[in-house]
Structure 1
Amino acid sequence: MRISGIQLGYDDDETLEDRVARVTDLVRTQHHADLIVLPELWPSTGFGYRRWGAAAQTLDGPVVTAMREAARTVGAYLHMGSFIEATPEALERLAGVDHDVKALPELADGDRGLWNTSVLLDPSGEIVAIYRKIHRFGFGNGEPKLLEAGEDIVTADIEVAGRTVTLGLATCYDLRFPELFRALLDRGAEVFVVPAAWPAPRVDHWSLLSRARAAEDFCAVVAVNTAGFHSKT
C-alpha cells in the first residue's frame, strides 16, 4: 500500500478559502498513492482558537465537499485529517465570532455541538468513516471546554490491490492512551492512522508514542503532523 502523508505547513494569515484551495491542489498531485493522509485541524490553523468560529462547519460544508471532489479526482482513499465539526445550532451560536472562541460562555457536555472530527473518503469521494476525537487535549481548557468528546471507536476497511486493509482511526492526543489502540486492534485494525497538530516543544513525545503504539500492537502507524509556525507554536 502506497501512502502519502501531507505534513501541511501554514501560518495564521492564510484564509480558509486559500488553504482549502491549496490543500485540494496538493491532494490532486498524489497520483501514486492508495491512501492520502492530512493533519489534524488544518482548516482552522491547528489550535489557533481565534479561527475556530469561522472554520467550524457541518459534514456537508465546503471543506468536506472540496476534499470529496479531490478524492474523486485523484482516485485514492483520503483521510482528510480533522476539522471542527458543528451542528447547525452551534454554527448559529458562533456566527460573527471573530475573537478567541475560548472567551465564549462555557456550555455543558452535550450542549456544545462541536467536535474534532476526522473523515475518511473512498476513491469515489464517498464517506467511509467518521471519527470524533475521544481524548480532548487540555486541562480544563481548550478542547475539553469547547468540544464534545467522541464516543465511538472507529475502524474502516479499504480495498488496496485486491486486499482488504483495516484502518484504526485516532487523532493526536489519543496517542497517549494505549487502551484505545488495543481496542482498535481487537476490532481488526492493521494500520493506525493518526493525524495531529502536535507542538514542537513536545515533538519527541509524538515520535516516541507513535513508535510505542506500533511496537506494542504490532501494527503500522501512519502519523501525520502539521509543519511550520502558527498559533505561537
Structure 2
Amino acid sequence: MEECLLSTINIAIDGPAGAGKSTVAKAVAKEMGIVYLDTGAMYRAVALKAIQEGIDTLDEEKLSKMVSNIDIKISYSNNEQKIFLDGKDVSEDIRTPQASIGASNVATIPAVRLKMVELQRNFALNNSMVMDGRDIGTYVLPNADYKFFLTASVEERARRRYKEQIDKGIKNVSFQEILEDINYRDKNDSSRKFAPLKKAPDAIEIDTTNMSISDVVNKILSIVRK
C-alpha cells in the first residue's frame, strides 16, 4: 500500500449504475492508503428506511420529514465500509433491486440530497478520500483534486450487476430485471432537476466496457501519481 504524500487529497469518481465506480474507487483508495466513501450506500439507506416505514420513495413531503431525523453512520472494518441505519448494520440489506430503485427515487428529493451532501462534505473536510457517486465532481466536491467519469455499455453494466448479485447468493433476480433497473436509473439520474448525473467539464472520462478492474485502477493511479 502506498501512502498518499499530500496532507489531504479528494478524488471524485462519477458515472452511471454498474460502470464499476465502487469497485474501482475501493481499489484506488486501498492502493493509496486513504478512505473510500460509497455515497450510493447512503441513498440506499434512506430508501431502505422509507420502505421499512411504508413511505413512497417519491413522496417529497414525507421523505423530507423523515430524513431530518435519520441517523446514518459509516464505519470501516478490514478496509470495508459498513453503513448503519438507526444503529443497525444494513450493509447487506441495502443491496437489493428495491433499494436500488428506491435510492434513485429518493435522490431526486432536494431535502434528501442536501442532507446527504452535508454528511459527505463534512467527511471529506478532514479525510483524504476517494468518493464515488453521480454528482461528486459536479456538486458534492466541485473542487476535488482529481475527477474521473466512468462509463460502459448498458448491457455490460447489467451483466456486471447480475454477476455481483449471483456471487452474493442473491438468485431471485433476473438479468432482464437488472437491465430494466439500470435503464430506469440512467433516465432518472440524468433527468432529475437537482444535481443530475453528468460529467464534470474537468473530469477525465474512461470507458470501462472492455477494461478489467485492474486496468481502470492502474489508469487512474498513473494519473494521480504523476
TM-score, with length taken from structure 1? 0.30
More strand by share: 1
More helix by share: 2
User: RCO (CA 8 Å, sep 6+): is it higher in 1 or 2?
Assistant: 2
